[in-house]
Amino acid sequence: MRELLWKQRRLFYAVAIFSFFVNLLQLGPSFYWMAVFDRVMTSRSEATLFYLTIGVAGTLLLIMMLEILRSRLLVVITIWIDKNVAPVIFDALVTQGGRPEVAAYPEGMRDLHTFRNYITGSGVFALFDAPWLPIYIVIIFIFSSTLGYFALGGVGILILVGLVNESLSRDAMGTMHKEMATSSRFVDTVSRNAESVLTLGMLPNVRDRWASLNDLSLSHQAVTANVVGSTVSLTRLVRQVVQIMMLCAGAWLILEQNTSPGVMMAATFIASRALVPVEMILSSWTQLSEARSAYRRLDDFIASLPPRLLEEQMELEPPKGNVAVERLVFMVPGRPEPVLRGLTFEVKAGESIGIIGPSGSGKSTLARLLVGLWTPTAGTVRFDGAELDHWSRDALGKHIAYLPQTIELFSGTIAENIARMGKVDAKEVVKAATQAGVHDLIVRLPRGYMTKVSDGNSGLSGGQKQRIALARALFGDPRLVVLDEPNSNLDAEGEAMLQTVMTELKARGVTTFVVAHRPSVLANVDRILVLRDGVVERFAPRNEILGQYAGGAPAPAPAVAPPVVRAA
């Protein structure tokens, strides 16, 4: 985060410069009071009073203009963050969101908004004004050491209050955010599984579970609010007491003829101004703590990303479709055994490969690794000899088709979904839909390709969504196609269409991987790779494999188990 924000350091420097002049000009009213009491009142000169008043009014007007300018500069900074930092966070969240080796971080964009909103709030001005606190105290000491000690004591008390506030609220606030995130994730899970919750009568139970999670969050929120509220009230009391004591001490010094009324008023005014940033920081402590925590989480998240996600990759030539897997190992945190253990095989461009095996053998994991969704624990996946990390993610995505088991369509039209949410080229969209055998289905819809789909994909069956997603995968004539159980939601007509699609892909020389449980989808593949317990049990021509395995499920394991390759 520091490196990203450093790119706009000039704007932060400009805000600091404006703050310098704002605080420097704030001394104007103090000297005005000193001049009025020490000169105007003694000389009884109305002209001097008039010109002093005009001067201080101009100073206040200039202060207002500078504060407006620095406020607008901070707005410019937040706009820059939205346009430059937000896309980095967004890409990282999408790229890392499905990786089992990376901790879930669904609050990423909310944390960014929290940090951004704090920058435009009043609390951030106090951070720029706070460095002037010792300067103001020194000026008060120059006027009067007695008044300086009173002001210094008030500042010390406020700083002590701030430290106590930090100590009492830190743990409660951190726990509050964790409980809020847990509660939010639980609500999301319940929403996604609403059908099961309602039909199985689970609503009272899940409501009680959510209530218990929410109560934990509310209890910590109450502790934080009480601490911060008490701190704000105490801070205001201390500032008022300090001002009264300084006036009292100033009056006593006047009576003792050790100072003048002007010095007393100027010192009191400066002390009040010196305490304002401290009071503002403490009064906005909740927002400051939230922004600081959000910044740290964002910083930790970005620091955990692989460097290739933050660096621009050189765009290579479009892949021909040659795939090489070398000693591939993949482990999931918390699981002692690797999901994949030392896979090695090669596939030439244009080959069609079926992947079968019992549940938990690593078929879907291999599919995700082949398209670069997940990063291997060890080993490599190469396209045309180049490791996946050497390819630009965006450039490579144009040449890859991937159909996962779980299908989601984005809010927009069917045409936009097939066009991968990019610019809709009607000719290419219809071509992809025709290749996927879904064109006739789409044109029979009330609005055809312009039919709107919501985030929940309402109005479309599972089979319809799967066929539209297949058209999206085939958009742009990819050179590598990976299908993870593409017939899981298809009827007989849909399976026939899928066979036609695979035949056409083979005829065009497209490298194809198909993960399947049902052997019907493997009728046209060249070879079949059999996975068992994360290792390649067999990799042979289709007829040999299907003759040995029935129903797409491997026969019992051989007497001698294959060697186990563990991750380093």
pLDDT in tens, 468-496: 888 998 888 888 899 988 877 777 777 88
* Residue 54: per-residue pLDDT: 92
* Residue 61: per-residue pLDDT: 93
Q: Beta strand 412-413 with 452-453: parallel, antiparallel or unpaired?
A: antiparallel
Would residue 286 count as lying in a domain? yes
Tell me the two tokens of residue 310: 């933050």
Would residue 201 count as lying in a domain? yes
Is the pLDDT confidence value at 451 over 90? no
Strands (E), 404-455: 412-413, 452-453
Q: Looking at beta carbons, which pairs linking 344-348 to residues 24 or more positions away fall under 8 Å? A: 344/379, 344/536, 345/529, 345/536, 345/539, 346/322, 347/322, 347/323, 347/511, 347/513, 348/321, 348/322, 348/511
For the stretch 296-351, pLDDT in tens is 888 887 777 665 555 555 566 777 888 999 999 998 877 778 888 889 999 998 89
| H helical segments located in 337-382 | 363-370
Is the pLDDT confidence value at 565 over 80? no
Is the pLDDT confidence value at 206 over 60? yes
Please give the Cα distance from 425 to 256 (Å, whole number): 89
Tell me the two tokens of residue 494: 């849909």
For the stretch 244-278, pLDDT in tens is 887 787 788 777 767 778 787 888 888 878 877 87
8 Å CB contact between 453 and 417: yes
Please give the Cα distance from 377 to 226 (Å, whole number): 47
8 Å CB contact between 231 and 161: yes
Quick one: pLDDT band at residue 557, thresholds 50, 70, 90?
A: very low
| H helical segments located in 445-520 | 462-474, 492-507
Query: How many C-beta atoms surround the C-beta of residue 383 within 10 A?
Result: 26
8 Å CB contact between 380 and 328: yes
Highest mean pLDDT among 80-84, 204-208, 525-529: 525-529
SS3 state of residue 63: helix
* Residue 310: per-residue pLDDT: 54
Higher pLDDT, 326 or 225: 326
8 Å CB contact between 267 and 243: no
Would residue 499 count as lying in a domain? no
Across 219-237, average pLDDT: 75
For the stretch 66-108, pLDDT in tens is 888 888 888 888 888 777 777 777 777 776 655 555 555 667 7
| Domain extent for 150 | 2-305
8 Å CB contact between 449 and 417: no
* Lowest-pLDDT range of 241-250, 356-365, 371-380: 241-250
Phi and psi at residue 3, to the nearest 5°: -65, -35
8 Å CB contact between 147 and 244: no
Tell me the two tokens of residue 551: 């129903």
Would residue 510 count as lying in a domain? no
Is the pLDDT confidence value at 146 over 60? yes
Higher pLDDT, 169 or 564: 169
Would residue 343 count as lying in a domain? no
Please give the Cα distance from 478 to 87 (Å, whole number): 26
Is the pLDDT confidence value at 566 over 70? no
Q: Name beta bridge partners: 403.
A: 483
* Lowest-pLDDT range of 55-64, 153-162, 336-345: 153-162
Is the pLDDT confidence value at 538 over 70? yes
Calculate what percentage of the chain has a pLDDT beyond 70.
89
Rg (CA), the chain: 34
8 Å CB contact between 319 and 542: no
**Distance from the Cα of residue 283 to its chain's centroid:** 28
Please give the Cα distance from 517 to 124 (Å, whole number): 58
Across 372-379, average pLDDT: 84
Tell me the two tokens of residue 486: 């593409």
Cα three-residue angle 40-43-47, rounded to 5 degrees: 60
Highest mean pLDDT among 63-67, 79-83, 115-119, 409-413: 63-67
Would residue 172 count as lying in a domain? yes
Is the pLDDT confidence value at 389 over 50? yes
**Distance from the Cα of residue 73 to its chain's centroid:** 24
Quick one: pLDDT band at residue 2, thresholds 50, 70, 90?
A: confident
Please give the Cα distance from 152 to 136 (Å, whole number): 10
Would residue 342 count as lying in a domain? no
* Residue 513: per-residue pLDDT: 92
Smallest CA-to-CA distance from 514 within 529, 532, 492 is with 529
Is the pLDDT confidence value at 556 over 80? no
Where b means 16+ CB within 10 Å and e means fewer, 490-508 reads beeebbebbbebbebbbee
Specify burial of residue 407 (Cβ count, 10 A radius: 0-12, 13-18, 19+): buried
Domain of 189, CATH number, reads: 1.20.1560.10
Would residue 119 count as lying in a domain? yes
Across 46-60, average pLDDT: 88
Across 516-538, average pLDDT: 85
* Residue 180: per-residue pLDDT: 76
Tell me the two tokens of residue 450: 């312009």
- The label of the residue with tokens 């970005």 reads 302
Number of folded domains that form the chain: 1
Query: How many C-beta atoms surround the C-beta of residue 410 within 10 A?
Result: 14
Please give the Cα distance from 446 to 448 (Å, whole number): 6
- The label of the residue with tokens 């100033």 reads 250
Helix or strand holding residue 476 (H, E)? none
Please give the Cα distance from 532 to 564 (Å, whole number): 11
Please give the Cα distance from 306 to 309 (Å, whole number): 6
